Structure formats: structure tokens, C-alpha cells
Structure 1
């Protein structure tokens, strides 16, 4: 039986940031399946810009070819015509209208291809969230755009992170802290646990991964003294998840969980954090620059590096490409 060819879509993110250069470098460093089909949803000029900033030789053929060490050749099909080269003249660290148009158009093209079933996964570069507007609708992040354009009929996906000592899921994502409590409902926690369980099974290759849920409030509410979300919402959702056969523990105080990990306690397979910084602030430290954001729960996978545009590093040859390499390899591994 012939091995199915991996189909990865690629977007540069905002070309004023480090996205194009870390993508170019990661493409020649990543270990991807032989014969993987790579499709870049911007112009050859934008990819060439990233290659130049990263010091990666390239040949403007069809397909475009990035040249790595040891005569390694990485062919990339360019999906946007050269006339649509928005962002290719953008200065490093200086976002302009062309750069913002480039980040939007590339993401939309990638989502359209994913929705049509033409990709196994989409790997996206970092964007400027404040300027992420599609068809007049502002979106808080690429996760939300991907959901809306690829599979809006599906429940909201779970934002998952890999690359650290456990798989991390975020119950809530791009919300003000003032809005987090109201957003944490029984249905949301149950759905997040089911999605995290499925993601952890895939990542760890364990049939029954062990999940830990962090509390919403300090000391997980201290028996209701510092808030009742744990008693009223989180604990009942955990019990229902257990009744379905999931190995779930908690809610536990977040500070104590991370302190126990630092003291050498064996980590669980996955952790569900209740809000963005509760999970990501410590997780980015634990990943040591190689974390990957995974959009989980839709028919097509999306991965991205766990960092932003990093304007201060753009074009200086100092940006780490490790997280982008992990994003490429994670997309390949989780879709195999």
C-alpha cells in the first residue's frame, strides 16, 4: 500500500515580525516525512524575504526551493501569485498596512484550503491580533478565525499546547480576567475535558491519560471562601467526566500544582487551566522556547509556535526558530 503524502499548509504571519524568517529556517531544519507537500499561502516574495533574513539560500523556481545544509532541498509550492506581494517590502519591526493585509490574506487562503479538504494541517506564523479583521469581523486570534472559516458547525476547539512535560489545555482563552468566571460553565468544562482527553491520547499514545484540572480561584476557592466556581461548576463537571470513564483529578490549586512539579513530582499527562495566563505563563517557561500551540477539535489541525511577532528581533538573525520547527513536526506527527 502506498504511503499517503502529508499535506501541510504554511502562512508567514505578519512579515514585519519574525514569522517569515523562522518559518524559512525551520523548513530546512525540520524532520518531515519524505515527500511532504508544502504549500505557502502567500507570495514567493514574502517567503524569499524570510529566507533572506534567516540566511537561507533559496531558488525562485516552481516550486520554490529552500536550500539547507548538506545539499538539502525543500520544495515549497507558492499559492499566491507574485503580483500579490503585500508585505514583501515591509521593513523588519515596522508593521504597515501591507503587512497587515499579508497576515490576513495568507491566513484566509490557508483556511479556505483546509475547509476544502486540501490540507492535513495548517501551520501558521505569529500575527498581530489587534489587527486580525476578516470580512469586517474582528477576531481575538487565529484559533477563532480557523474555527469560523474551516468548521463553524463544530463546537469551539480547545487551545492546546505541547512541548512541555504535559499537554496543556486552556478552558478560556482570549478574555479579560473580569469575564473569565462567567465564561466557565459546566458545558464548557465538560467539553474541554473531553477534547483534552482526546488530544492527550494522541500526543502521549496512552489509552487512558491522566488529567489534572486547576482551580479558578486562589487555593482552588478554599472551600468557597475565595469563590465558588470550583464547587458549583468545575467539580461537578469533573465528576461527570469520571462517570464517562475519564481519569480526571481536581480541581487543585494552581500554585501548589506548579510548586509540586518544580519539586520533582511526576507530572500528569495533561492539565486543564482555567484561563490564559494561569496555564501559559508557567508552561512557556517549562517548554524552554519549544512550545507549540495546537487547535484541537476540528476536522483539520492547526499548529503554530507559542510566541508572538517579536518585532525587536525581526531581521536581526537572533530569533529562535525552534518553536516553529516543533510546530511543523508536531503537525506531521499528529496527522499521521
Structure 2
């Protein structure tokens, strides 16, 4: 039986509703999962109009399918009749709608109605204007779920997975936030995510922090004092982890057909994001991992500048849906 995905249409002021419509018109997507669509019914219908793809749905209370049934469910929830969204800009009302929709989708997973959640693009400024008090979505998810376990944000393309030791923090604070335990835990959760996605024995490369890996301490000692000992600890625990490698060459080495790696653990946000977006902008996927359910989304944003122009492409959302379906299946879907 197919997994069931909660598919949230994202920021109603962005390209989310129209790329959801395009993705749901894709036969491979439709074959991958059963869908519970979450969003504003008027915004979703407008997205279908802009996309030029009309997909049949049943506007109903969300329920777990008894089989691989059609049509798609459009869930009845507190925000399904919301209208008059500001298009192409940050707006607090849009943000509040997103926060409520995300919380509803998570609860569908908690209740066993859905196996995983996929989310169309969100906008952090709108989320914060709408009431989010966290630096990012994964910490909002933790609050909604009252979850205290370890979580990580993975960035994924068809060649590589990345995770990071620090995330949405000022660059000046990064060095003081890097610890051996965080590195070992980062290797472990990246290994777990790769394994759950089907990699039998994931190979993980760990990035250094300083230019040229610190040049034996000339440009900093984090590689010597913290990162290398942590990699050795991870190896002793049975992980196929290596490094640290210099940040300016690690992705060259990781993506080699022979002797490459399946995942890279970076020390801070842009170490990995610049490389991943250069390799796969418009196609990449973000996986919010470690929660009681898998949550995926696109690695790109809401593209306010092209809203309702009909040119937004669904490639990244399609990949995010397929990833959620694959990982949701392994979660028992």
C-alpha cells in the first residue's frame, strides 16, 4: 500500500499553490503516495488555475485511506476557507496561516492519519511576522510536538546529502558552538537518515572549519583540538566517517564517482548550502529529520517575484514529495 502524505501548500502568497498543482499533475508523484492536501481551498484552486492543471479532490475531513484511493483529499481544517492573502510579499496573516497549517499536518502524522509531511516553500520572515518565535521551522516543529530529541536539517540532491553542526546562528558564534559531541551526534544522525533512505553503509565526510583546514594550527586549532578527535570517536563507534577535509575541496572529493561520499557534515550553514545550491538549485530537497515523522520541503524559497506568472517549476517539490514517500514507506506506510 502507498504511504499517505500530508501535503501542505506552503506560503499562500508565494508559488506554493501553483507548484503543488503542477506536482500533483505528475503521474510519478500520483503513483508514489496517497495525498491529504492542506491549505486554503480558494488559494489552491487559484494555484491550479495559474498552473493550468486541474486535479480532482474531495473536500473532506482528513482520514487515512483504506486503499490506494482517489481522489486526493483536501482537508477540512481551520484555515481551509482563508482568503484575501497578500501575494508576492511578506505578510503576517500569511504567516499565521502557515503556522496553523504546519501544526495541523504534524498532528495528522501524530494521529497516524499520514505517514510523513511534505511542505511547499515557506518564508521565514512571514512565519515570524505571523507569530513564530524560533529561528527556523524545525524548532517550531519541536515546540508543536513537545519534542526534546535530537533533530537535524538535511539538504539533499541526487548526488549528496549534507547536515551541519551549527545552523541559523551568527557566523561570529560558530567556533564556540562546535563541540566533539555535536560532531559525533551529527555523524550519527546523518548516517541514520541516509540508512533510512536506503543507503546500506553510508560514507560520511566531515568538513573542517578554518581555511585550508587550519594549516596545522596556523589559522586555528579547531581541526586539531575538536574536529579530528570527534571523527576518530565516530569511527570507533562504527561509522564510516572521514576527515576533517578542507571546506574548499570537500565537495569536489565527495562527488567523485570513485572514492566519493554519500554525505557531508559541515560546521556551519553556508559551508554546505552554497555548494548544494550551486549543484542543484531548483531541484534540491530539505529533510527535517529526527522528529517522530519525516518532514520534507524544497530547498528554494517562495519566489515572490514570479508569483502567478505561470513559470514556477515543480522539480524540487516533486523531489521532496518522492523523498517523503520513500522515507514514509520505511516508517511503516
TM-score for the superposition, normalised by structure 1 = 0.87
Contact persistence 1:125–1:305 (CA under 8 A): yes
In structure 2, do the counterparts of structure 1 residues 38 and 263 end up closer, same or farther at CA, with 3 Å as the change threshold?
closer
Residues 272-302 of structure 1: CA distance to partner in whole angstroms, max 9, x if unpaired? 1111111011111212521110112222000
Residues 122-156 of structure 1: CA distance to partner in whole angstroms, max 9, x if unpaired? 1112222123249955122222222222351312x
2 CA distance for matches of 1:83 and 1:126? 17
Match of 1:138 in 2: 133
1:274 corresponds to 2:267: yes
Residues 209-232 of structure 1: CA distance to partner in whole angstroms, max 9, x if unpaired? 211001111111211221222222
| Shift, 1:172, TM fit | 1.6
Match of 1:22 in 2: 19
In structure 2, do the counterparts of structure 1 residues 113 and 83 end up closer, same or farther at CA, with 3 Å as the change threshold?
closer
In structure 2, do the counterparts of structure 1 residues 57 and 137 end up closer, same or farther at CA, with 3 Å as the change threshold?
closer
| Shift, 1:162, TM fit | 1.8
Q: CA RMSD in A?
A: 2.6
2 CA distance for matches of 1:83 and 1:252? 47
Match of 1:257 in 2: 250
In structure 2, do the counterparts of structure 1 residues 197 and 35 end up closer, same or farther at CA, with 3 Å as the change threshold?
closer
Match of 1:201 in 2: 195
Equivalent of residue 247 in structure 1, options 240, 253, 277: 240
1:47 corresponds to 2:40: no
Instruction: Give unpaired runs (5+ residues) of structure 2.
Output: 62-68
Match of 1:100 in 2: 95
Give 3-state SS (helix, strand or coil) of 2:205's partner.
Answer: strand
| Shift, 1:112, TM fit | 2.3
Counterparts of 1:186-335 in structure 2 under 5 Å? 186-206=180-200, 208-260=201-253, 266-335=259-328
2 CA distance for matches of 1:254 and 1:29? 38
Contact persistence 2:57–2:73 (CA under 8 A): no
TM-score for the superposition, normalised by structure 2 = 0.88
Instruction: Give unpaired runs (5+ residues) of structure 1.
Output: 65-72
Match of 2:122 in 1: 127
Contact persistence 1:43–1:79 (CA under 8 A): no
Aligned length: 322
Residues 246-292 of structure 1: CA distance to partner in whole angstroms, max 9, x if unpaired? 11110010102234468876521111111111101111121252111
2 CA distance for matches of 1:262 and 1:31? 27
Counterparts of 1:56-67 in structure 2 under 5 Å? 56-59=53-56, 61-62=58-59
In structure 2, do the counterparts of structure 1 residues 53 and 74 end up closer, same or farther at CA, with 3 Å as the change threshold?
farther
Contact persistence 2:93–2:130 (CA under 8 A): no
Match of 2:66 in 1: none
Contact persistence 1:104–1:133 (CA under 8 A): no
2 CA distance for matches of 1:61 and 1:137? 31
